[in-house]
C-alpha cells in the first residue's frame, strides 16, 4: 500500500456513488475502487449484526485489492458498524453520518427534517449526534422505506417514487421545516425531484462534500495523497447488474469502468 494505491469506497449499492462524485471532484488524480453491494441492498432494514458482517466483508475485499483508505459511503453501515471496522482493520476508515449539525446550526425556523433508513435512525450513533445538536430544534425523522430499491432499479422519476417522496415530505412540510437532511447516500439522486415537491424556502443538505474533505485531510495526515499529475483510474464493481451504476454515472462514462464481480 502506497500513495498510488486506490481509495476504496463501498455502499450497500449504487448510492455511495454520489459520495464518490464528491471525492473524484476534489481529488481527480486519485485512483478509486468502488464496491456496490447491491445484492444485499437495502441494508436499512437489516439487523446491526448483519450490517456489521456485510461491512467487514466489503472492507476485506477493498483491502485485498490494495486500497490505502476505506470510505464507508453508507450512513447505515457507518452508524451501525464504523467502531467495529476501526477496531478490526489497521487502515484509516472514513464514515458518513447525516448532516444534522449544520442543519441544526443554520435553521431559522428551528425545524428540520431528516430522511434516512430505519437502520440509521435507530442506531445509537445517530441518537447521540441528534441529542447533542438538536436541543433547541424540532426534528421530524422519517424512514425512507422503499426509496433505495427504486433507486437501485434506476427508477428516479417514476410515479411510485413521486408518491413516496410526497408522502414522506408531507409531515416535514406540515412542521414548517427549512432544512431537509438527506441521511442516506442514495438520496442525493432524488434532489431534483425533492425540489419540485418542497416549498422553495427549504434547503436540502447532504454530507457528500464534508466526507470528501475529511477523506482528503486524513490522507494528508497519513502521507497518503497521490502526488501523480495524471488522472486517476476509476473502477466500479457491482455484484448485480451494471446498468444502474452506468446510468447514474453516465457523465463519467468515458473515464470509468463498471464491471460485475462476485463478492
Ligand atoms: N446508502 C445507504 C445509506 O447511506 C444505505 C441504504 C440501504 O441500503 O438501505 O444509508
**Residues 77-96 pLDDT 10s:** 999 999 999 999 999 999 99
Q: Using an 8 Å Cβ cutoff, are 195 and 128 in contact? A: no
The pLDDT value given to residue 245: 98
186 in a structural domain = yes
- Candidates 185, 187, 238: which one to mutate for ligand 1, based on the most atoms within 8 Å of Cβ? 185
**227 phi, psi to nearest 5 deg:** -95, 5
List the grid coordinates of 176: 414548517
For residue 206, pLDDT over 80 is answered with yes
The pLDDT value given to residue 40: 97
1 in a structural domain = no
Q: For residue 67, indicate whether it is catalytic.
A: no
Q: Looking at the structure, do residues 18 and 75 belong to the same domain, yes or no?
A: yes
First to last CA, the chain: 21
Label residue 138 by pLDDT band (50, 70, 90). very high
Number of domains into which the chain is organized: 2
CATH number of the domain where residue 31 is located: 3.40.50.1860
Q: Using an 8 Å Cβ cutoff, are 110 and 46 in contact? A: no
- What is the whole-number distance in angstroms between the Cα of residue 68 and the centre of ligand 1? 23
- What is the whole-number distance in angstroms between the Cα of residue 229 and the centre of ligand 1? 34
d(CA 88, CA 2): 20
Tell me the per-residue pLDDT of 88-129, one tens digit each, with 9 for 90 and over.
Answer: 999 999 999 999 999 999 999 999 999 999 999 999 999 999
Q: Using an 8 Å Cβ cutoff, are 8 and 62 in contact? A: yes
24 in a structural domain = yes
Nearest of 117, 113, 106, 104 to residue 42 by alpha carbon: 117
For residue 33, pLDDT over 90 is answered with yes
d(CA 166, CA 169): 5
User: Which residue out of 33, 41, 62, 74 is catalytically annotated?
Assistant: 74
The pLDDT value given to residue 1: 77
Domain that holds residue 256: 7-96+208-260
0.75 exceeded by pTM: yes
- The rounded percent of the chain whose pLDDT value lies above 90 is 99
Amino acid at each position: 500500500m502506497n500513495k498510488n494505491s486506490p481509495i476504496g469506497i463501498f455502499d450497500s449499492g449504487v448510492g455511495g456513488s454520489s459520495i464518490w462524485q464528491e471525492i473524484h471532484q476534489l481529488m481527480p488524480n486519485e485512483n478509486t475502487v468502488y464496491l456496490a453491494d447491491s445484492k444485499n441492498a437495502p441494508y436499512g432494514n437489516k439487523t446491526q449484526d448483519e450490517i456489521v458482517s456485510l461491512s467487514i466483508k466489503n472492507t476485506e475485499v477493498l483491502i485485498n485489492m490494495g486500497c490505502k483508505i476505506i470510505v464507508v459511503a453508507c450512513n447505515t453501515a457507518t452508524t451501525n458498524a464504523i467502531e467495529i471496522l476501526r477496531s478490526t482493520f489497521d487502515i484509516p476508515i472514513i464514515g458518513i453520518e447525516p448532516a444534522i449539525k449544520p442543519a441544526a446550526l443554520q435553521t431559522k425556523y428551528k425545524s428540520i427534517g431528516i430522511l434516512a433508513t430505519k437502520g440509521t435512525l435507530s442506531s445509537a450513533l445517530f441518537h447521540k449526534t441528534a441529542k447533542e445538536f438538536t436541543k433547541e430544534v424540532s426534528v421530524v425523522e422519517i424512514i425512507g422505506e422503499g426509496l433505495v430499491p427504486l433507486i437501485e432499479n434506476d427508477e428516479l422519476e417514476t410515479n411510485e417514487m413521486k408518491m413516496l417522496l410526497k408522502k414522506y415530505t408531507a409531515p416535514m412540510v406540515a412542521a414548517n421545516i427549512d432544512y431537509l437532511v438527506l441521511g442516506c447516500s442514495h438520496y442525493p439522486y432524488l434532489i431534483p425531484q425533492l425540489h419540485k415537491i418542497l416549498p422553495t424556502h427549504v434547503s436540502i443538505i447532504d454530507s457528500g462534500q464534508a466526507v470528501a474533505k475529511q477523506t482528503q485531510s486524513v490522507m494528508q495526515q497519513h502521507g497518503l495523497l497521490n502526488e501523480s499529475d495524471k488522472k486517476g483510474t476509476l473502477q466500479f464493481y457491482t455484484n448485480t447488474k451494471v446498468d444502474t451504476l452506468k446510468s447514474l454515472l453516465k457523465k463519467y462514462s468515458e473515464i470509468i469502468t463498471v464491471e460485475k464481480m462476485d463478492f
